[in-house]
Amino acid sequence: MTPVELSRTVLRAVRRAVDEGELSVVVPVRAVVTPPGPGGCGDYATNIALQLARSAGRPARQVAEILRPHLTRSEGVADVAITGPGFLNIRLGGGAGASLVREIQRRRDAYGHGDILAGQIVPLRIPYDIRAEVVADTLVRIVATQGGRAEVHHIHPSRAEPAGTDLSRAEPPGTDLSRANPAGTDLSQAKTAGNDPSHAEPPRTRAPQADPPRLDRLHRPHPQTTTLRPTPAPEDPTPLGPDAARWALLHPASHDRPRISADHLLQRESNPLFRVRYAHARTRALTRNAAALGCTGDPGDVPEDVPGGDELVGALAGYPAVLTQAALHRAPDRLARHLVTTADALLAFQHTVLPLGDEKPSAAHRARLALAEAAGTVLAGGLSLLGISAPDYL
């Protein structure tokens, strides 16, 4: 069961509780399911009980108790536990990992894309600064994954906000300043433009035109104009090259000062960018080596005792939620850090994928290969959104 399918299952449980008179609420359009947080358990968790508590006129934990048996009886759900103030923690039955891999295989680069910003234009205002340019460039692609369209406006120095303005809490994202070609933003040009504020440009967009909003989305508030002013880089990052420079500017949170160092170029475990790109390259190598053995990936469940297996399934399942939050909070660093988590899980898992010695490829090997290939798809897609290349060989 994929996160999208589980979200529908949660909504069906709410609807059954309403139909049976146990709850008096309006069934929401969407139920958010994510990997469990600290103190949680199982495969996924949802805060639907907390969301409905006020309209139901009951404590959230009581709402959760009402929904629990309806969820437990749902196909594909093995168990449901309640934690904290009313979080429903769901453990899936057999087939959860296989369904997730099939979903990634089916959607490919579109896996994790949603419609929470469908029909919305997200205005971004940025100063003439290389880091702001790169952040905005990345956000336009991330916003587009959620159905939105970003517009970028440059702040003229004479109209800039006072130094004390708090911009860290601004909400909406998006814009594309780079990648007409796969190479990404020309950082040297961004730097030059930043030195010449007289060449103000009209708003730029690269995201495709979104479909008109459906009626069930009309209640969503339209985003306010967001001013992006991340902490500037202490020095020119362009000597690092486009990939390392973009990572150096995007991986830290916007309020953190980026570290411009040759460490981003080192092919060592201590370098997060190297781990992410190396993990992607390993998934491609596994596919090539499996083909030489006459083995192809076939989605199936991976046993819990396989090193890194649960962590990798959890990271892949959590990718859509991370992408949504990166778009809503205008925070590409969330995506970058999640890619590191996914890469680390893949690198711990990779040693179990192929047969060893005289061992023949089995259904278990084909299931692990399919999971590794799904991880490669997510890593490549995430790097592309950041404007960073994902080589097959490294």
pLDDT tens-digit map of 242-285: 999 999 999 999 999 999 999 999 999 999 999 999 999 999 99
Question: pTM score, two decimals?
Answer: 0.69
Above 70 in pLDDT, residue 222? no
Residue 163 has pLDDT above 50, yes or no: no
CA distance 193 to 297: 47
Distance CA 151, CA 123 (A): 5
Average pLDDT over residues 33-41: 85
Work out the pLDDT band at 159, boundaries 50, 70, 90.
low
Residues 327, 246, 394: CA angle, nearest 5 degrees: 110
Residue 372 to residue 347: CA distance in whole angstroms:
10
**Residue-level pLDDT at 94:** 58
**Range 50-69 average pLDDT:** 92
Burial string for 330-352 (b: 16+ CB within 10 Å, else e) reads: bbbbbbbbbbbbbbbbbbbbbeb
Contact call for residues 191 and 138 (beta carbons, < 8 A): no
Provide the pLDDT for residue 45: 92
**What percentage of the chain exceeds 70 in pLDDT?**
81
With beta carbons less than 8 A apart as the criterion, state whether 280 and 379 touch.
yes
